[in-house]
């Protein structure tokens, strides 16, 4: 009889400990995983470009006179289209300009810090 009582107490203790661990885990404050320099909307956090490709929302757009210069160089290089996106610190160059061509396709123009074209990718 004493063994049954002791076993019952141990089982209740284990159940209580498990419940407390689950409650402690659930009650933890949410982690703030946003980039310190840019506030983003949760819906915009990731945008699917194509199957298997995900565009990171933490990319910094080009701004100011640098955007004007990079856009002008990229458009002159491609010869047509409209600038639809930009990024500083792209993995393929210092600047990246996305141009939507007149036929609806896209071209990514990568430039160095001196606004010289390094490479171009057509989608």
Q: Give per-residue pLDDT as tens, 76-98.
A: 999 999 999 999 988 889 999 99
- Is residue 81 in some structural domain? yes
Could you give the number of structural domains in the chain? Answer: 1
Q: What is the pTM of this model?
A: 0.55
**Per-residue pLDDT at 4:** 76
pLDDT at 107: 96
- Answer whether residue 18 is part of any domain: no
pLDDT the model gives residue 40: 46
Mean pLDDT of the chain: 77
| Mean per-residue pLDDT, 22-35 | 51
> Does 42 reside within a domain?
no
Residue 52 domain-assigned (yes or no) = no
- For residue 43, being part of any structural domain is answered with no
- With respect to residue 78, please indicate whether it lies within any of the assigned structural domains: yes
**Residue whose tokens read 């007149």:** 102
53 assigned to some structural domain: no
- Count CB-CB contacts under 10 A for residue 98: 18
The contacts found for 76-81 with CB under 8 angstroms, 24 or more apart, are 77/109, 77/117, 77/120, 78/107, 78/109, 78/120, 81/107
pLDDT in tens, 37-69: 444 444 554 554 444 444 555 689 999 999 999
Q: Is residue 111 part of a domain?
A: yes
The CATH number given to whatever domain includes residue 91 is 3.30.505.20
State the residue range of the domain holding 81. Answer: 60-122
């Amino acid at each position: 009889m004493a063994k049954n009582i002791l076993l019952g107490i141990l089982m209740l203790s284990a159940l209580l400990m498990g419940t407390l661990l689950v409650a402690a885990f659930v009650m933890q404050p949410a982690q703030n995983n946003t980039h310190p320099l840019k506030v983003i909307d949760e819906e915009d956090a990731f945008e699917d470009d194509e199957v298997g490709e995900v565009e990171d929302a933490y990319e910094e757009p080009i701004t100011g006179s640098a955007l004007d210069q990079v856009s002008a160089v990229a458009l002159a290089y491609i010869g047509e289209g409209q600038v639809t996106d930009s990024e500083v610190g792209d993995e393929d160059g210092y600047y990246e300009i996305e141009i939507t061509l007149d036929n609806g396709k896209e071209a990514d123009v990568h430039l160095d810090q001196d606004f010289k074209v390094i490479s171009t990718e057509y989608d």
